[in-house]
């Protein structure tokens, strides 16, 4: 039976989320510890989707995943694909937690279609499809989540069009991050990227001074973060994560529970901690000097109530 398989990893924004929507840079890393696998198989009868978020006829996909519906239609048109299919999506990326789940699903599904049709897929083509799905899922994304789907290295990213408050070189591959460990903790609460982005945008458009100041501050911090990476200073990077979290609080995208977890990580010895991704729930990240310390921080976070944690070398 004809089949196509596509895989995609998660992502972590180390610094600069939200401000990146306004043209300032952000630093992000592909997160290989979690991944999405899409398998497209030829089928008789009606096309079906099997996943943790929906199991049933493809034509009856709920509105909440209209981005996936739209993406599959684009891919079917691209290949003049008429044959009914079974699309299985298995993922270890928790959905709506700021770890790039929606971009990974779109990316894995796009790769599965190209694999099924035995057609090479360029990064440019992948971005073309994933960006369209992300625009439906998140409103007006900066493109960082989609772009990370084509990368295996840390990057400094800034969007290439619309609202720019600064003019920086769009994308730079960064050197390896300083030696250390990254802890990612899922608060268990669904993040709300679209609402968070809209909330910041409304305040930005009203000329809210706190928002404008926080965005400018994040731009400075990301610049300093890049320097810290260049010189390999984990301590400096940790402190910058703390400062970045403070600016994100000013933007109003953290929550009391996430703030509590961040405090818990710092008390357990983290060099720095912050919310990551869209916010209003979702995940936080922390930095540790070595693996035993990282595991101890992750354990503390779990005892405090975090739904899941991951520890990985930076």
Q: Does 94 engage in binding with ligand MEV (CB under 6 A)?
A: no
Q: Does 199 engage in binding with ligand MEV (CB under 6 A)?
A: no
Q: Does 182 engage in binding with ligand MEV (CB under 6 A)?
A: no
Q: Which of 6, 12, 18, 243 binds ligand MEV (CB under 6 A)?
A: 18
The CA distance from 130 to 110, in Å, is 8
Q: Which stretch binds ligand MEV (CB under 6 A): 121-129, 142-150, 222-230, 301-309?
A: 142-150
Applying CB under 6 A, the site for ligand MEV has a residue count of: 15
What's the Cα-to-Cα distance from 292 to each of 78, 114, 180, 191, 272, rounded to whole Å? 49, 42, 11, 29, 16
Q: How far is CA 242 from the centre of its chain?
A: 19
The CA distance from 292 to 102, in Å, is 32
Q: Which of 39, 142, 254, 300 binds ligand MEV (CB under 6 A)?
A: 142
The CA distance from 188 to 287, in Å, is 20
The CA distance from 274 to 217, in Å, is 15
Q: Which stretch binds ligand MEV (CB under 6 A): 63-71, 79-87, 134-142, 219-227?
A: 134-142
Q: Does 149 engage in binding with ligand MEV (CB under 6 A)?
A: no
**Count of CB atoms situated within 10 Å of the CB of 120:** 7
Q: Which of 36, 51, 102, 193 binds ligand MEV (CB under 6 A)?
A: 193
Q: What is the DSSP string of 184-244?
A: EEE-SSPP-HHHHHHHHHHHHHTT-HHHHHHHHHHHHHHHHHHHHHHHT-HHHHHHHHHHH
Backbone angles phi, psi at 232, to 5 degrees: 70, 30
Q: Which two tokens stand for residue 72?
A: 């599959």
Q: Does 248 engage in binding with ligand MEV (CB under 6 A)?
A: no
Q: Which of 21, 109, 183, 265 binds ligand MEV (CB under 6 A)?
A: 21
Q: Does 265 engage in binding with ligand MEV (CB under 6 A)?
A: no
The CA distance from 109 to 31, in Å, is 18
The CA distance from 266 to 274, in Å, is 10
Q: Does 91 engage in binding with ligand MEV (CB under 6 A)?
A: no
Instruction: For ligand MEV, give the closer residue by CB, 34 or 197.
Output: 197
The 272-276 sheet, strands edge to edge: 272-276, 283-288, 181-186, 308-313
Q: Does 247 engage in binding with ligand MEV (CB under 6 A)?
A: no
Instruction: For ligand MEV, give the closer residue by CB, 4 or 278.
Output: 278
Q: Does 191 engage in binding with ligand MEV (CB under 6 A)?
A: no
**Helices and strands, number each (H, E), in the chain:** 9, 11
Give the nearest distance from C-beta 159 to ligand MEV in angstroms. 8
| DSSP classification of residue 175 | P
Q: Does 20 engage in binding with ligand MEV (CB under 6 A)?
A: yes
Q: Which of 10, 94, 278, 281 binds ligand MEV (CB under 6 A)?
A: 278
Q: Which of 40, 177, 185, 197 binds ligand MEV (CB under 6 A)?
A: 197
Q: Which two tokens stand for residue 95?
A: 């959905």
Q: Does 277 engage in binding with ligand MEV (CB under 6 A)?
A: yes
- Residues forming contacts to ligand MEV in the complex (CB under 6 A) are 13, 17-18, 20-21, 98, 138, 141-142, 144-145, 193, 197, 277-278
């Amino acid at each position: 039976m004809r089949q196509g398989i596509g895989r995609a990893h998660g992502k972590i924004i180390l610094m600069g989320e939200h401000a990146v929507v306004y043209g300032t840079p952000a630093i992000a890393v592909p997160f290989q510890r979690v991944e999405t696998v899409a398998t497209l198989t030829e089928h008789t009868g009606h096309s079906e989707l099997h996943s943790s978020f929906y199991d049933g006829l493809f034509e009856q996909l709920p509105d909440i995943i209209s981005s996936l519906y739209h993406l599959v239609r684009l891919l079917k048109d691209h290949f003049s694909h008429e044959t009914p299919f079974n699309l299985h999506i298995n993922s270890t990326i928790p959905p709506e937690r700021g770890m790039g789940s929606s971009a990974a699903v779109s990316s894995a599904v796009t790769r599965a279609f190209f694999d099924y049709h035995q057609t090479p897929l360029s990064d440019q083509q992948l971005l073309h499809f994933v960006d369209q799905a992300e625009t439906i899922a998140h409103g007006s994304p900066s493109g960082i989540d989609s772009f990370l789907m084509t990368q295996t290295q840390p990057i400094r990213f800034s969007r290439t069009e619309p609202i720019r408050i600064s003019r920086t070189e769009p994308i730079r591959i960064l050197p390896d991050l300083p030696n250390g460990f990254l802890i990612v903790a899922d608060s268990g609460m669904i993040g709300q990227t679209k609402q968070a982005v809209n909330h910041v945008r409304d305040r930005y458009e009203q000329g809210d001074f706190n928002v404008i100041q926080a965005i400018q501050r994040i731009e400075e911090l990301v610049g300093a973060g890049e320097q810290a990476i260049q010189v390999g200073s984990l301590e400096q990077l940790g402190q910058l994560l703390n400062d970045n979290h403070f600016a994100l609080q000013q933007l109003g995208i953290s929550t009391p529970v996430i703030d509590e977890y961040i405090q818990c990580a710092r008390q357990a010895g983290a060099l720095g901690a912050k919310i990551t991704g869209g916010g209003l729930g979702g995940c936080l990240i922390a930095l540790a000097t070595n693996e035993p310390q990282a595991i101890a921080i992750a354990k503390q976070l779990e005892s405090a109530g975090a739904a899941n944690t991951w520890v990985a070398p930076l």
